[in-house]
Structures are given as structure tokens and as C-alpha cells.
Structure 1
């Protein structure tokens, strides 16, 4: 399975799961409303996951690139 196919499969599985959870968790929500809400919520959840991963990578990169050396690495 290519990376593109894997991403599409994850997105569709997340969409289906969200639609089912929204349909049965809130009282009286129909399938149409649940599918529409999941259509908005699934890309938002995927974007938030991507953003979190990217910020963690950048934080790790900034942690490696310090302008000043750590106190224990300085010569006296």
C-alpha cells in the first residue's frame, strides 16, 4: 500500500468513525446531519494531528540548534 493510499484509507476510516459516533452519541441526530458534521470534523482532526506533529518536529529541531552552549558544555 502506497503512502497516498494509506492516507486516504485513514481519512475515510476517521470520517466513518466520526459519523457513527456523532449519529449515536447525540440525541436525535439523523444520518444526514451526522455525515455533514463528520465531513467538517474529519479534515479538521487530520489537520490538527498534522500541525501537532509538525510543531513537535520543529521544537526538537530548535532544541538541537541552540545559539549558546548548555551550561555544562561551556569551558571555564
Structure 2
């Protein structure tokens, strides 16, 4: 499976899951409203996942580039 296909399948799964959750939530939205809200929720969820992954990568990179040693490493 290519990266594009994997991303498309992931986005479709998030869309379907969010539409079903919105449809059967306590608010009792209809299918049309649930599908439209799923279109709003899906890009937001994908962006939040991308942002979390990017921040984690940057934090790991910052940890490797730390000039001063960590306090645990100074005691050795």
C-alpha cells in the first residue's frame, strides 16, 4: 500500500467513525448533519495528529541537541 493510499484509508476511516459517533451521540443528529460535521471533524483530526507527530519529533531532536547534560548524566 502506498503512502497516499494509506493516508486516504486513514482519512476515510476517521470520516466514517466521526459521522457514526455524531449520528448516534446524545444530540441525535440526522445522517445529513452527521456527514457534514464529519467533513469538518476529519481535517481537524488529521491536522491534530500531524501537529502532535511534528512536536514529538522536534522535542526528540531538541533533546539530542541539548548542550548541557541532563542532571542524571552529570552525577555519573
**TM-score, normalised to structure 1's length?**
0.86
Secondary structure of the 2:66 match is coil
Distance between the aligned counterparts of 1:51 and 1:27, measured in 2?
A: 29
Partner of 1:48: 48
5+ residue gaps in structure 1?
none
Q: How many residues align?
A: 74
* TM-score computed with the length of structure 2 as normaliser: 0.86
Structure 2 Cα separation of the partners of residues 19 and 70 of structure 1:
46
1:1-16 paired onto structure 2 within 5 Å: 1-16=1-16
* 2:40 corresponds to 1:36: no
Q: Mark the runs of 5 or more structure 2 residues left unpaired by the alignment.
A: none
C-alpha separation in 1, matches of 2:18 and 2:69 = 47
Q: Which of 11-20 and 22-31 deviates more?
A: 22-31
Task: Calculate the aligned-residue CA RMSD, in Å.
Answer: 1.7
Select the structure of larger CA radius of gyration: 1
